[in-house]
């Protein structure tokens, strides 16, 4: 009698690996289809607008800590290069021009609402 146990194990492992790969591909395709269906349903209810903040216009900024910057101009953002700031790495900052003529640098994550003035 001959025992062919070694060959059967390699076939079983090949089937297991193929099944896992098929499940991974199915999961990726399924999640992409679900995300697309959700996006299309959201667009039917409330369409996306191609709007953005226009620099040099007047805006009211409402911060997460309750502060307000009223009737300021948003000049742009800083370039977050390492070592650029003498105070350390602050990352991306929003630059606004206040009525006094001074610039203020604020973190975009602390802004809760931007309203056109």
Each residue's pLDDT tens digit, 45-95? 887 777 888 877 899 999 999 999 998 999 888 877 755 666 666 778 889
User: pTM (2 decimals)?
Assistant: 0.56
- Residue 110 and residue 62 share a domain: yes
Range of the domain at 10: 1-49
Quick check: helix, strand or coil at residue 36?
Answer: helix
Instruction: Say whether pLDDT at 37 is over 70.
Output: yes
Alpha-carbon gap, residue 105 to 113, rounded angstroms: 16
Q: What is the mean pLDDT of residues 30-54?
A: 87
Longest dimension (CA), the chain: 97
pLDDT at 4 over 60: no
3-state secondary structure (DSSP) of residue 2: coil
Among residues 58, 55, 53, 54, the alpha carbon closest in space to that of 71 is found at 58
Whether pLDDT at 6 is above 60: no
Rounded to whole angstroms, how far apart are CA atoms 112 and 68?
A: 10
Mean pLDDT of the chain: 85
- Dihedral pair phi/psi, residue 74, rounded to 5°: -90, 120
Q: Are residues 110 and 93 in the same domain?
A: yes
**In the predicted model, is pLDDT for residue 2 greater than 70?**
no
Looking at residue 1, what is its pLDDT? 47
pLDDT > 80? residue 16: yes
- Domain co-membership, 110 together with 80: yes
27, 44: one domain:
yes
Same domain flag for 30 and 67:
no
Residues present in the chain in total: 117
**Structurally, how many domains does the chain consist of?**
2
């Amino acid at each position: 009698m001959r025992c062919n146990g070694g060959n059967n194990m390699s076939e079983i492992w090949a089937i297991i690996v193929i099944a896992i790969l098929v499940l991974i591909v199915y999961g990726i395709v399924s999640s992409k289809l679900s995300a697309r269906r959700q996006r299309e349903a959201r667009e039917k209810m409330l369409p996306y607008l191609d709007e953005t903040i226009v620099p040099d216009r007047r805006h009211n900024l409402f911060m997460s800590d309750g502060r307000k910057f009223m009737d300021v101009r948003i000049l742009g953002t800083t370039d977050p290069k390492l070592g650029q700031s003498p105070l350390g790495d602050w990352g991306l900052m929003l630059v606004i021009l206040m009525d006094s003529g001074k610039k203020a640098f604020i973190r975009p994550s602390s802004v809760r609402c931007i309203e056109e003035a």
